Amino acid sequence: MENLLSSASSHRTLPDGRFVVPPEHRPPASPAGAASMPVIDLSLPRDVVRAAVLDAGKDLGFFQVVNHGVPERAMRDMEAACADFFRLRAEDKAAYYSEDTDRTNRLFSSTMYEVAGERYWRYCLRLAVFPVDRTEDGWPEKPPQFREVLERFIVPTRSVGMELLKLLCEGIGLRPDYFDGDLSGGEVIMNVNHYPPCPDPSRTLGLPPHCDRNLITLLLQGSVCGLQVAYRGRWIDVDPVPGAFVVNFGHQLEITTNGLFKSVEHRAVTNAAAARTSVATFIMPTMDSVIGPAEELVGTGEGSDPPRYRSFTFREFMSIYKTVGARRESVEKAFKI
């Protein structure tokens, strides 16, 4: 097992030069910009919520949602169970550890999108989590409450994601069920990210700048800061809001909406004081889904938008994404017309 995994809490200096990211990728010495991220109350009237989601989605590409219907208890229990998982003894965690990038359910460190051998200050427990009855056999058995807590969390969390997709469709004139079926019917993947306290936060990153590969992401970020979003050439902090999900769009949503909603780059910074655990839920298309700009949103006549992306199967997307990396620019190069 990786050195970092077994002795993370005892590091006083970076254990390996590969954790030092080049100066241009480092967190800024001064605090990040403070553009505020909209917090949208999903219990407001539907037309108000739709307008807010549309505005935030088109401008920043990131927003937070509260009063979303996932019980507070389910969220708190999930945070606690995930933190407990990472507190297990190294021997217990070793059973899940794997460096095989083709394996869905596994515990690993850093990320599979390593740039020039750089390493990142992060562990990740990655699981397929939905539908529950088809995936739960692969979930960790320790800590003992983990499976039950995960089930109580993922079912309503996925529903929030599906509801947001509906609102987005309504807002841009797609039929509300556009994303039902294959486009959202692939694996729902969960990344439980864990960033131990880091001895040198100014020279390391927890996660490098990347865009998500899926349709829509819901992130439970906990109470410790660390997520930053690219906005107009700067990195802005996403302040934790109790009980909120941070929502962002993956490449598949950008491409199907012909660029109306952008998949925005984000990264995670580390800190020296406290461990941070976040839970990202990714709604994905099936591997055989054909992805491309929705016909309703493109046209060739005057005044209409020509398609900005070519069509492909999600399987093809994933194989290219794995080789070109997760930066926005490289994915655009591969799929933009």
Nearer to ligand OGA, 81 or 280 (CB): 280
Q: Does 191 bind ligand OGA (CB under 6 A)?
A: yes
Angle at 195 between CA 104 and CA 65, to 5 degrees: 80
Residue with tokens 């699981």: 127
Closest CB 93 distance from Ni ion, rounded Å = 23
Minimum gap (Å) between residue 122 Cβ and ligand OGA:
8
> What's the token pair of residue 230?
């690219």
Q: Please report, as ranges, the residues that interact with Ni ion according to CB under 5 A.
A: 212
Q: Which of residues 197-216 bind ligand OGA (CB under 6 A)?
A: 207, 212
278 binds, among ligand OGA, Ni ion, none (CB under 5 to 8 A by kind): ligand OGA
Judged by beta carbon, residue 93 or residue 126, the one nearer ligand OGA is: 126
Among 27, 2, 4, 26, which Cα is nearest to 15's?
4
Give least dist CB 249 to ligand OGA, A. 12
What is the sign of the dihedral through the CA atoms of 293, 174, 153 and 131? negative
Which of 278, 285, 321, 331 forms a contact with ligand OGA (CB under 6 A)?
Answer: 278
Task: Select from Ni ion, ligand OGA, none the partner in contact with residue 284, using the beta carbon and a kind-dependent cut-off of 5 to 8 Å.
Answer: none
Other CB atoms closer than 10 Å to residue 66's CB: what's the count?
A: 14
Q: Does 184 bind ligand OGA (CB under 6 A)?
A: no
Q: Closest distance between ligand OGA and the C-beta of residue 120, in Å? A: 11
* Least Cβ distance, residue 248 to ligand OGA (angstroms): 8
> How many positions of this chain bind ligand OGA (CB under 6 A)?
12
State the CB neighbour count (10 A cutoff) for residue 182: 15
Instruction: Please check whether residue 322 is in contact with residue 101, taking contact to mean a CB–CB distance below 8 angstroms.
Output: yes
For the beta sheet containing 266-268, the strands, ordered from the edge strand earlier in sequence to the opposite edge, are: 207-210, 266-268, 227-231, 234-237
Select the span of 76-84, 137-145, 220-228, 313-321 touching ligand OGA (CB under 6 A).
Answer: 220-228
CA angle 257, 207, 261 (to 5 degrees): 10
Q: Which helix (H) or strand (E) holds 210?
A: strand 207-210
Q: Please count the other Cβ atoms lying within 10 Å of the Cβ belonging to residue 321.
A: 19
Contact flag: residue 154 with ligand OGA (CB under 6 A): no
* Nearer CB in complex with Ni ion: 118/212: 212
Interaction site with ligand OGA (CB under 6 A): 191, 193, 207, 212, 219, 221, 226-227, 266, 268, 278, 280
